[in-house]
Copies of this chain bind each other. A is one copy, B any other.
């Protein structure tokens, strides 16, 4: 089957990420989608830069309307940002019968109702996983994963810039202005950071999640939006003393006021008990906590912005559209993610061949030279030690020696343990527990 043809509107950070990931993982993506996905056309203001990024792989034009009107495009990916031009382009793509993928939260928070209605009339798809929380599939979770539930609330750290600033303010005890400057230098905040720091970006994302959670139309003018620019270092410190962390949280929740049901929809700095998992989401990471009646609390965590994390969501939408639009009806989503004729036969490794770190506990007669014997055996086996802990005896002359190794092959560790257990000073078996840094 011929690849499905994609036209990109804009090839900045996210566009370039989308191009690169689609190229790099094209085999895996084709095996999953059941069909190749190919960018055939790109609209860019800077044609030369676009040509460098795409390296001659596709047609480049400076007029985005040429892409939405092209018969050589099945799916339009809108990555321009802003409101008016994208609205016009997306509506025209829909009118032309093309599916649309967009990462534009502002567009959907303001013009979503119009766009979705047009898509519905025309029978095309509009997909927007990348609009909220970057690569974290939170739209899919709310829209498809939690369909059994009456959703009670959604609360999210959905702006990485502000979360980075708040983490730094707390860590270093610095004021807002100072940290913002640093964030701008590091590229975590834009030259004009207003949309991020005043909560507007988070509110756009929250509006979209609220509509999906509760089945209401988007209505951004009703959102309450308060940013972090007025937050003082003192309050972050006091909150910490009281057992709380301050986060810029987007919250939407069912609420009954004077007997009438309504929806809370608000973005503002919020104290959260430090013991909550979401309070420990630091730096530029995002997390969304959903409360629902059947499933209880679920949390979704990951990078909320950046070139490839956002591209991950754009491409997931492209695969969804491709699976739905083209593959035969009963294998649109393969049981095991990859199409049945596209499985691989790479083998499962025996444990002897896995590589990880190890916690070793050796119970020894506390005599001269034991530690030297142990470290010699590990050194001989090429196993290096990360940490050692020696724990005083339990009322006898014996001691626990605990060693944490760096990464090594399991068969090396097992051979070393055999030698250690053969030492006369060692009592019983060595306790070996594997260690993963998961970093």
Contact = CB atoms under 8 A, between A and B. Distances in A.
A338 B215 contact: yes
A262 B347 contact: yes
A144 interface: yes
A72 interface: no
A301 B302 contact: no
A361 to B, nearest CB: 6
Contact of A125 (B144, B148, B308, B330): B330
Interface stretch (A184-192, A193-201, A237-245, A365-373): A237-245
A47 interface: no
Number of copies: 2
Interface stretch (A2-10, A53-61, A76-84, A112-120): A112-120
Contacts of A319: 144, 147-148
A324 interface: yes
Contacts of A336: 112, 116, 143, 211-212, 215, 217
Contacts of A264: 348-349, 354
A215 B29 CA distance: 11
A399 B349 CA distance: 64
Contacts of A345: 216-217
A226 to B, nearest CB: 9
A232 B349 contact: no
A302 B288 CA distance: 12
Contacts of A265: 348-349
A29 B147 contact: yes
A335 interface: yes
Contacts of A309: 294-296
A141 B300 CA distance: 10
Taking chain A's interface residues, is the majority helix, strand, or loop, or is none over half, making it mixed? mixed
A146 interface: yes
A434 B277 contact: no
Given A235-B433, A238-B361, A277-B277, A146 B219 contact: no
A64 interface: no
B312 A142 contact: no
A98 interface: no
Interface in A282-305: 289, 292-303
Interface string A105-142: 00000001000110110011110110000111100111
Interface of A: 17, 21-22, 24-25, 28-29, 31-33, 112, 116-117, 119-120, 123-126, 128-129, 134-137, 140-150, 155, 211-217, 219, 222-224, 231-232, 234-235, 238-239, 241-242, 244, 246, 249, 251, 255, 257, 261-266, 268-273, 276-278, 280-281, 289, 292-303, 308-309, 311-316, 319-320, 324, 328-338, 340, 342-349, 351, 353-355, 357, 359, 361, 387, 389, 391, 400, 402, 404, 431, 433-439
12 contacts: A21-B149, A28-B215, A120-B335, A137-B145, A144-B316, A215-B338, A217-B345, A235-B433, A239-B433, A255-B353, A255-B355, A296-B303
The 5 A-B pairs at the shortest CB distance, nearest first, are namely: A137-B145, A148-B315, A135-B295, A298-B302, A215-B338
